[in-house]
Structure 1
Amino acid sequence: MRILLVTYWGLTNMGGIWTYMRQLADKLGEQGHTVTLMGSHVDSNTLYLLERNVFFDKKAYYSALLPYLDPLQFPHLHQEHGIFSFELGRYVFEGGAAALGLEDYDIIHAQDPISAYALRRIMKRPVPLVASIHGALARESYYEYRGLEPGLTLQEYESRPIWSYFRRMEQLGVNAADLVLVSSRWIGQVVGGHGVAAERVHILPYGINLQEYGEKAAEPVPLNPVPGKKMIMYAGRLEYIKGVHVLISALGLLKQRRRDWTCVIAGTGSLLDELRIQAQECGVQEDIAFAGKIDNIPSALTAADLYVQPSLQDTQPFSVTEAQLAGIAPVVAGAAGMPEMVRHGVAGWIVPAENAAALADRLELLLGDDALRARTGSAARQWAGGNRSLDAMAEGTLRVYRRAAGMHSRPLPDLPSGGAGMAAGDSRPMPGAFHPSDLLSVISPGNPLEPLLRSRLPADYLVPDAGIL
């Protein structure tokens, strides 16, 4: 089977999504399938096929489209900067994906709703399309905005055009796919809320390559534990949605009660400087090591005594499973899909999300009870080893692929704006919308991209896309 795994986002810098794609590709490749990965290269501003070393220059295409998305003619694109940025980025992604080609695959597996909808829009031949939904896009955008506006409420955010835009993108993406893969019941409910029938949604928890994990865990520890102190650890992006600020507040409270601990925060992100300042304000700057990117988390976890996942929203973080495999019963926030990963009091701990006081209480209890940590850690390791197999995840994914391939005797989902399987007349073309090849033939005669896009994009493909209205 020829399989394309594709994401709208940066391919190798997306944390858990990259881990998922890499491990799935490796396992399917071992079974004889040909797997190609497509995504963006952030540094070079290109869309590329990882294994084939083939690139599409996003910047040049972006510059060609930009002047023709005028705010007077297309005001809906300019309601907020975020809407315009994402829409133009999606059109560039669509052009790049068409140029790189979709015709050589038996299955396309999108990793987000943006790429799922984008690829369905540009298909000339109906290739079976599976979408993995790893998170709730609109809610994630809320937390990103709240990181910039701390007092912003969800109700206030839901009144903004950007919320409606992301909700529409979620709806279009999940309905563009033949079948949808989710890792938790929680994200399955989010998908179902967009009108996707239950029989099209498959819940398949993430798996981990247990052999690879064991080999990495056996390597030298990339940390320097402090003698006589227990180590608390977090590993992940340093972004508002990950709730690291909640952990630091909890550590400030914890230090008033006991000081027999240190904390390692592993990861990079836009909030690093702010989190350092917060640590100083909480009086724990000497107790926290901001370790940056650690390439070997399994080995680092062998030195840890506690692991905390304080995310405000997270579906099924790989780091939680890695902690469980290290024999640590993780402390997770009771939000989104995380509570499904632990049995509270047996193989992990759940604390209310965004509640620093509750987190501090739990950490104090665990620091003071070695036997409790050992007992629950052993249960966590046993549970993860029996329930997070990469082999099981790969086999379940292949079953979904085969089912999607067998569904193409039925009509594909009805979606607006052209593309294979999209019903004609579902929405009228937006006045002034254009086919990119027509634009390129006028502004850049002789540009080799013009005939390539004309041959690979549907004749009724148009920019801007009326489907988002």
Structure 2
Amino acid sequence: MKILLVSYYPLPYPGGIWTFVSHLKDRLERLGHTVDILSHTPDTTKYRIIGHQPEISISQLSSYINEHLTKTFPTLHSNYWIFYTEVYRYSLEFSSLYYGLDQYDIIHAQDVIAARAMSRVKPKNTPLVTSAHGFLSGEVLYVLKTLYPQQTEHQLLDSFEYHYHKTLEFLGYQSSDFIHTQSSWMRNNAINDFSVSPDKLFTFPYGMDIEGFLQSSSTKLPSQDKKVILFMGRLVYLKGIHHLIDALALLRSDRNDWECWILGEGDLKDELQFQCKRLGLENVVKFLGLTDDIQHFLKQADIFVLPGLQDTQPHSVMEAQLSGVPVIVSDAAGLPEMVINGENGLVAAAGDSHQLYLHLKHLLDNPLIRTQFASRAKEWAKDRWSMDKMVNNFLALYNHAISSRN
């Protein structure tokens, strides 16, 4: 089978999507399939099939696209965000036509924008499946909250930017033959918010190269003088890091035998650092930036925290569980499906800094519970996040999509 994985967004790029795509490609190719990846380049100047030449420069296409957009929507150029989303998605369409879509048995979009683009240009009988890695319009709402903090949520929901992305998301879902969701939350979201027929949905979790991950992370580093609370992820509003910092301020009033390491970069870094300074946490909350060696930090962590306001199935939680680190997550979106509350981790109400503080205090106060949670989570994760199960599920989905076209 020849498979095209397509992303509107840049790849490779730090984060779970590239982890998912690269592992899926590797495993499918081991099984004898041919897999190409079409995506934006990391510098967002080109679309290309990774490893293939030539790469298609967006500047070669943009003059034609700009002329078309300006003629059709004369005022759209005043909205930089939406204008360039249009430029990029049309560039993806043109680039895919250059490489030729008729050579593929199936096209697998990695986001709803790519799904909509491929549906407009692919051969009629080539099936299109989409992985719903995230809730696009929900993420846009959190971006708008960051950009326009003075506006009410009702005003943001009524904005052109929000309605534009909500429409793109609807069109992406409706253009797909079948849709993969990795959590019940995403499945219900597709059904309830975007009128997707349940018959089009296949729900199964992501997988990890567990054997490779465990082999490379087998050595536990010596204990630190202080307990380490670890967060890994983008420094953006929807990750809920500001609530974690508020919880840490409460924890600081109880005990000082800990420090918090924050791995990641993002638009809110300066604001979060100022929050730490305002709360007197600048010496115990360390912003460590991006890293290619997350296992080095997981080996030193005593607690992993992801207090997200919207997240589907982040790889960081999977990695923490497999590393034997007890996990605290929020009850938002797909996160509570990743933890058995009170058995292999803890779940706090999203946005509730006080409850998050109580969970952190509970785990710091009870080393035996930390050890029990870590052991149970590791064994649970070995089965739950099986790469072989995920790949077999995707092959079943691909074959079902192909047979439905015959």
Same fold (TM over 0.5): yes
Moved more, 76-85 or 124-133: 76-85
**CA drift at 1:312:** 1.2
Which runs of structure 2 are paired with 1:388-399 in the superposition (5 Å)?
388-399=385-396
Please tell me the root mean square deviation across aligned C-alpha atoms, in Å: 1.9
Partner residue, 2:45 = 45
Partner residue, 1:111 = 110
Q: Are 2:283 and 1:286 aligned?
A: yes
SS of structure 2 residue aligned to 1:13: coil
Partner residue, 1:60 = 60
**CA drift at 1:75:** 5.1
Percent same amino acid at aligned positions? 36
Q: Are 2:135 and 1:136 aligned?
A: yes
Aligned structure 1 segments of 4 or more residues deviating by more than 6 angstroms: none
The letter for the 2-side match of 1:308 is V
Partner residue, 2:6 = 6
For the 8 Å contact 1:351–1:359, the answer to whether it is kept is yes
Q: Are 2:92 and 1:93 aligned?
A: yes
Please report the TM-score for the alignment, with normalisation by the length of structure 2.
Answer: 0.95
For the 8 Å contact 2:8–2:92, the answer to whether it is kept is yes
The letter for the 2-side match of 1:3 is I
Partner residue, 1:413 = none
SS of structure 2 residue aligned to 1:258: coil
For the 8 Å contact 2:330–2:348, the answer to whether it is kept is yes
Counterpart-to-counterpart distance in 1, 2:76 and 2:129: 28
Q: Give the paired residue count.
A: 405
Counterpart-to-counterpart distance in 2, 1:347 and 1:152: 39
For the 8 Å contact 2:220–2:300, the answer to whether it is kept is no
Counterpart-to-counterpart distance in 2, 1:53 and 1:235: 35
**C-alpha distance 109-226 of structure 1, shift in aligned 2 (>3 A):** same
Counterpart-to-counterpart distance in 1, 2:219 and 2:263: 18
236, 256, 269: which one pairs with 1:259? Answer: 256
**CA drift at 1:281:** 1.3
Which runs of structure 2 are paired with 1:314-463 in the superposition (5 Å)?
314-409=311-406
295, 306, 312: which one pairs with 1:298? Answer: 295
Segments of 5+ residues of structure 1 without an aligned counterpart are 410-469
Deviations 1:164-200 (A, max 9, x none): 2111111111111111000000011111132221111
Counterpart-to-counterpart distance in 2, 1:210 and 1:396: 17
For the 8 Å contact 2:146–2:237, the answer to whether it is kept is yes
**CA drift at 1:80:** 4.4
**CA drift at 1:220:** 8.3
**CA drift at 1:149:** 2.3
**C-alpha distance 153-209 of structure 1, shift in aligned 2 (>3 A):** farther
Counterpart-to-counterpart distance in 2, 1:346 and 1:65: 54
For the 8 Å contact 2:329–2:348, the answer to whether it is kept is yes
Segments of 5+ residues of structure 2 without an aligned counterpart are none
For the 8 Å contact 1:116–1:129, the answer to whether it is kept is yes
For the 8 Å contact 2:304–2:328, the answer to whether it is kept is yes
Counterpart-to-counterpart distance in 2, 1:301 and 1:99: 43
SS of structure 1 residue aligned to 2:26: helix
For the 8 Å contact 1:103–1:125, the answer to whether it is kept is no
The letter for the 1-side match of 2:344 is A
The letter for the 1-side match of 2:311 is D
Deviations 1:57-100 (A, max 9, x none): 012211332244227x5258468443323222211221122122
SS of structure 1 residue aligned to 2:312: coil
Partner residue, 1:171 = 170
The letter for the 1-side match of 2:73 is F
The letter for the 2-side match of 1:8 is Y
Moved more, 321-330 or 45-54: 45-54
Counterpart-to-counterpart distance in 2, 1:25 and 1:230: 38
SS of structure 1 residue aligned to 2:70: coil
SS of structure 1 residue aligned to 2:405: coil
The letter for the 1-side match of 2:258 is W
**CA drift at 1:3:** 0.7
Counterpart-to-counterpart distance in 2, 1:389 and 1:214: 13
Counterpart-to-counterpart distance in 2, 1:82 and 1:310: 28
SS of structure 1 residue aligned to 2:309: coil
SS of structure 2 residue aligned to 1:308: strand
For the 8 Å contact 2:56–2:95, the answer to whether it is kept is yes
Counterpart-to-counterpart distance in 2, 1:196 and 1:57: 35
Counterpart-to-counterpart distance in 1, 2:116 and 2:90: 11
